[in-house]
Amino acid sequence: MSKRCIYIAFGLLAASFTELYGQTIVTSKHNLSVSGTGTVKATSESEVCLFCHTPHAARPVAPLWNRNDPGVTYTLYSSTTLEALPGQPDGSSVLCLSCHDGTVALGNVVSRSSDITFSGGITTMPGGAHNLTTDLSDDHPVSFSYTPALAASDGQLIDPGSLSTPIVLENGRLQCISCHDPHNDIYGKFLVASKQNADLCLRCHDRSYWAGSSHKLSNATWNGSGTNPWQHIEVPYTTVAENACESCHDPHNASGNLRLLKAATDEDNCLDCHNGNVAATDVQTDMLKPYTHNVYNYNGIHDAAEAAMATTLHVECQDCHNPHAVNNATANPPAANGFIMGVKGVDQGGNNLTVITNQYELCYRCHADSPAKPGSVINRQIEQNNVRLEFDQSNPSYHPVEAAGVNNNVPSLIAPLTESSVIYCTDCHASDASTVAGPHGSIYPQILKYRYETADYTPESASNYELCYSCHDRNSILNDNSFGEHDRHIRRENTPCSVCHDAHGISSSQGNSTNNSNLINFDINVVKPDNMGRLRFEDRGTFRGRCFLTCHGTNHNPESY
């Protein structure tokens, strides 16, 4: 049979297959012949298969390969979380790249003495998503051994012995053909399975927590405003759940090379959905408020492989949220809820945690032992910026973030709060907008949920101390139900709560239960030593005590209550 007859027979077979299954190479963009349906096609060459194959005089490379290797050195994908060891492309991958790296003319085939000409003067692969170039650092890695040891080391890969059809390994190595079938474009981009709901990705990847993640289950759609969050996808689906992995990742030509993120700037991978145009809440607006965890200030510092304790000052969405794990599950203090599930943290002992159990452990990443932690805004008699030490249960007093407080008689608490209650950091530090959870941004300093004035001579009002009054009944405080001089100090002398009370707590290594109960830790910009040089509070029993100090020009030498 002549070569011509072979091609005719193949064409008839392909036509019959098309009638049965609706898709073959003949009707795909890989038909580069003059009959091709795409824009990249030959001017006159009618044979379909010879752009890749030839039945005679082929290179000694399966399957009857009709093209020369590019012969270039590629820049490979690399990241700090990559367990595989990709090498220079080999096997079927380098065959694919003989067109898709843009270095070899499309019409340069072994079986022709001269290059086949293409419409529009095209020679090599035109620029765009299909031209991967020789820089593969922004593409899913290929040409690596996919072994049981790799799967075990990674911890989130399917064991190769359990890979489901149609995923195939070539001599035990993952190659382009593991995801792409060059002869069948039924799923688009010649994929071997649908991308919908991450069907293709989940054939190899077994991400922890993904089954219950909001990003897997959300039926949210883009409302058409602002930036299209799926503009990097050639043909996106309608919902977050359907776009799944590709809502954030781009397996080829990714802008954020590390972990193949769709955007090079970390927060841009999140805020094009979490701006009210896809997700129900508008986190981006909170990020633009005066006091924020300002993700815009940093780029290229966060790394998924970094230690739990922050050693370099930065904050990105991924520091507090695991996008593969996040969900709407509720919890009771101090337990972590679904919004921060699966993230790193630091425990009460200062130890790094791979996964937090309690919310405060997340906050301790930056606000405890980190050398980059923010400092205090109030000049305290006892200075302590490590919140892990401030909330320690061995302290003389502390707000009940890790466990119930030590004071068993707090008459001002507003129900359902009691002396045995535990609260979250985010009960105080959070958005001032009730529609947004978490400490993304606020109009109040220190990202406080409510107003909390600390300047001396601030007139007392429900609004000026709204933060305190959200838990402590204002009438109880001003009626002196616990401390007999609250009304005098707060309302008549305009002394802020913060002048006497340190809202977090006093470390046991610095304070004691006699002088630092009831969160007493003076603001020394306001409170000075008495005329004998003494500056202290003494606890003398329930609702009783005395102070040695000078405040607002009045000498307490001592003043008893």
Q: What DSSP string describes 268-282?
A: GGTTTTTBTTSSSSB
Q: What's the number of domains the chain is made of?
A: 1
Sign of the alpha-carbon torsion through 438, 442, 447, 451 = negative
Q: Looking at the domain assignment, is residue 287 inside a domain?
A: yes
pLDDT above 50 (res 20): no
Q: Is residue 69 part of a domain?
A: no
Q: How many residues does the chain have?
A: 561
**Model confidence at 10: pLDDT above 80:** no
User: Stretch 62-80: mean pLDDT, rounded?
Assistant: 95
Residue 1 has pLDDT above 80, yes or no: no
Distance CA 399, CA 396 (A): 11
Confidence grade of residue 375 (pLDDT, cut at 50, 70, 90): confident
Task: Determine, yes or no, domain membership for 479.
Answer: yes
What are the pLDDT digits (tens) for 264-293? Answer: 999 999 999 999 999 999 999 999 999 999
> DSSP assignment of 396-416, as one string?
SEE-SSSS--S-S--TTBPTT
Residues 454, 468: Cα–Cα separation, whole Å: 12
How confident is the model over 102-143, as pLDDT tens digits? 999 999 999 999 999 999 999 999 999 999 999 999 999 999
The residue with tokens 């919310």 is 359
With 70 as the cut, is the pLDDT of residue 61 above it? Answer: yes
What does the pLDDT read at residue 6? 37
User: Does any domain span residue 476?
Assistant: yes
* Domain assignment of residue 184, yes or no: no
Q: How many CA atoms lie within 13 A of 538 on its CB side?
A: 13
CA atoms within 13 A on the CB side of 500: 21
Measure the CA–CA gap between 329 and 506, rounded to whole angstroms.
Answer: 33
Domain region containing 559: 281-561
Is 315 a domain residue? yes
Sign of CA dihedral 286, 291, 292, 296: positive
Pairing of strands 545-551, 536-539: antiparallel
Q: What residue type is assigned to position 133 of the chain? A: T
Check residue 437 and give left, alpha or beta (phi > 0: left; psi -120 to 50: alpha): beta
Q: Quick check: is 502 in a domain?
A: yes
The b/e string for 236-270 (b: 16+ C-beta within 10 A; e otherwise) is: bbebbbbbbbbbbbbbbbbebbbbbbbbebbbbbb
Distance CA 363, CA 347 (A): 10
Helices assigned H by DSSP within 91-220: 91-100, 148-154, 214-217
Could you tell me if residue 31 is inside a domain? no
3-state SS class at 488: helix
pTM strictly above 0.75:
yes
What is the model's pLDDT at position 319?
97
